[in-house]
Amino acid sequence: MVHNRLVGKNIIITGASGGIGAEMARLSANYGANLVLLARNVEKLERLKEELEQGTGVQVIVKSLDVADTVAVRDVFNEVLSEIGHVDILVNNAGFGIFRHAHETNMEEIKFMFEVNVFGLMACTSMVLPSMRERGSGHIINIASQAGKIATPKSSVYSATKHAVLGYTNSLRLELKDAGIFVTAVNPGPIATNFFQIADEQGTYVKNVKRFMLQPEYVAKQVVERMMTRTREINLPRWMNAGSMIYALFPRVFERLGRRAFNQK
């Protein structure tokens, strides 16, 4: 059972100050895991730490970290490893997007999306892999997106970053197949979080897809219940993932028939 799998495990969650990051922290703490919560907003982390320690009694460490700063990633992870000894599970959850047409997206925004969504994820992973390999145990969980499978208008850069995450995750899984380390990609559709305050400035996308949005508690539950299991992918919702499978087989037909649905942003 998931309860037994997570008791006493050390879990690092990036982007843990809100949304599915905070919800995964709550569920993991309820199952008896010790937590290291990382995000830029340390005040939110401190409030979450107080809530979890009072409610569950598990150990919670919080540290401010911008994963786009790879030097800071190295320093913070070295601090964490010296404090807790080893990491059982890393959840690379930090990420953001901006929905704009390709010609309207400036290079600063493009670089920053890649620094957070891709380079930061890789930097965090590289900090825990050596000890996981040495111990022959661990789990890397990368929060990607259905946008990494189906690219749509106004998400060219965001989709590119998530395609990169999926490519990295798939390769990593093959590398670690015989090392005792699980690697999971999580590909959710739109989730009702503050992600869209930045991504969807005009609110058009949220208005159009609100009835299809996933709740962060649901997504977090699907992830936490599969921690320390050999799960290749978690695709949510299932009907959207079915679309990505059809897209892979019949891309031209899918793009033609789905054109109206794609232009929701």
Catalytic, 158? Answer yes
216-251: burial string, b at 16+ Cβ within 10 Å, e else: beebbbbbbbbbbeebebbbbbeebbebbeebeeee
Quick check: 127 and 77 in contact, CB under 8 A?
yes
**Cα Rg of the chain, angstroms:** 18
Of 31, 158, 168, 205, the catalytic one is 158
Nearest to 118 by CA among 76, 63, 168, 77: 168
Q: Which residue matches tokens 């989709």?
A: 159
How many Å apart are CA 111 and CA 2, to the nearest integer? 38
Positions annotated as catalytic residues are: 158
